[in-house]
Structure 1
Amino acid sequence: MTTGEQLAAIDELRGRAFPARRERSAQGESGPGFHVVRLWEGAPLWDADPADAAEIREDCAAALAALTALLSLRWGEPGVLDLAGPLERVAMGLPVPPPLDILSGLVPRLHTWRTAGRWVAVGAGQGGPEQPCQVLAAIAEERAARGFPGPPRDVSRR
């Protein structure tokens, strides 16, 4: 997916209604108050040459950096949300609100914005050391995201 297609996917998700119960598709997961979608994915790393694996990880980081830069042009500097705390809570069997329950096992941190009553986040990572690198986007209702760290104000610019 190109960066332009990624932006279009994020815009589409911002306008999409949230389902009444959790739903999964090949691209992601949605539920009451949230959407999570995969925007970029590298090849699996379980049998990759170490040099190829390093290149895939660099490509993933570059894809996230490019997307974050474009979203920052739109909405200003993002907040940064470290997902170590939610990941620890998930590991301990404690409740974590969606979409952080999904994202904490896949990405170490998120770049976040609040716009038009929605919380928007992007991040990159892997579900495990040999799993594919991926760039994910999440959209949540503002009321569902009230406890999430991030920019304090709604930028409400396109």
Structure 2
Amino acid sequence: MSTAQHLAAIDLLRSREFPAEHGRSQDGDGGPGYRIAELMTSDDFWEDDGTRWEATADQYEAERDGLSVLLVDRWGAPQIFSLESLFERTPGDGGEEWSSGDDAAGEEIPEPWNSLSSSVPDLHLWRADGRWIALGVSQWDRELPFQLLAVVTEIDPP
């Protein structure tokens, strides 16, 4: 996908209604109050000695940063929002849903923030027209592909 296509995908995400149910579509994941689109996905790294992984990590961060520069013209400088503390506050591997008994404080981390915290270390985050728009680089495990993600949500970050 080209940069113009990435920007068009972000615009489309912003213009669409949110799904009523959690699920997956051709555009990515979504649910009540959010959509997550996969703008780019790399190959996996099962047969890599580490050099291709490093180059791909740099490439995906550069893609995110390049898109962020273009979005500055629309919404100003992004807030860099770390998801590390959210991951530390989730049970198990961070990808599980909270239930009332999982946390002594009874804290619940809403989607999309709970899922994102499992694979995205930080986001470039803007607030525009009552919605949050975010860009992040996801990788679930060292052997698995990188993904450049665009997120649109009306749910405030925890």
Q: TM-score scaled to structure 2, two decimals?
A: 0.85
Structure 2 equivalent of residue 28 of structure 1: 28
Aligned ranges for residues 65-76 of structure 1 at < 5 Å?
65-76=65-76
- 1:73 shift after superposition: 2.0
Amino acid at match of 2:153: A
Measured at CA, do residues 61 and 128 of structure 1 come closer, stay the same or move farther in structure 2, by a change above 3 Å?
same
Structure 2 equivalent of residue 129 of structure 1: 142
Helix, strand or coil: the match of 2:90?
Answer: helix
CA distance in 1, matches of 2:90, 2:46: 25
Structure 1 equivalent of residue 88 of structure 2: 88
The answer as to 2:131 corresponding to 1:118 is: yes
> Which structure 1 residue ranges, 5 or more long, are not aligned?
150-158
Alpha-carbon displacement from aligned partner over 1:46-105 (angstroms, at most 9, x marks no partner): 212322222111211111111111111221101111101211122355531111011111
Aligned ranges for residues 4-153 of structure 1 at < 5 Å?
4-91=4-91, 93-94=102-103, 95-141=108-154, 144-145=155-156, 148=157
Deviates more, 1:60-69 or 1:50-59: 50-59
Measured at CA, do residues 47 and 25 of structure 1 come closer, stay the same or move farther in structure 2, by a change above 3 Å?
farther
Helix, strand or coil: the match of 1:10?
Answer: helix
CA distance in 2, matches of 1:85, 1:55: 27
Amino acid at match of 2:41: E
CA contact (8 A) 1:41 1:135 kept: yes
Alpha-carbon displacement from aligned partner over 1:80-135 (angstroms, at most 9, x marks no partner): 11101211122355531111011111210011111111110111131111111111
Aligned-CA RMSD value: 1.6
CA distance in 1, matches of 2:44, 2:91: 24
- 1:27 shift after superposition: 4.2
Alpha-carbon displacement from aligned partner over 1:126-155 (angstroms, at most 9, x marks no partner): 1111111111111011xx21xx27xxxxxx
CA distance in 1, matches of 2:115, 2:28: 10
- 1:14 shift after superposition: 0.4
Amino acid at match of 1:107: V
Q: TM-score scaled to structure 1, two decimals?
A: 0.85
Amino acid at match of 1:17: E
CA contact (8 A) 1:13 1:35 kept: yes
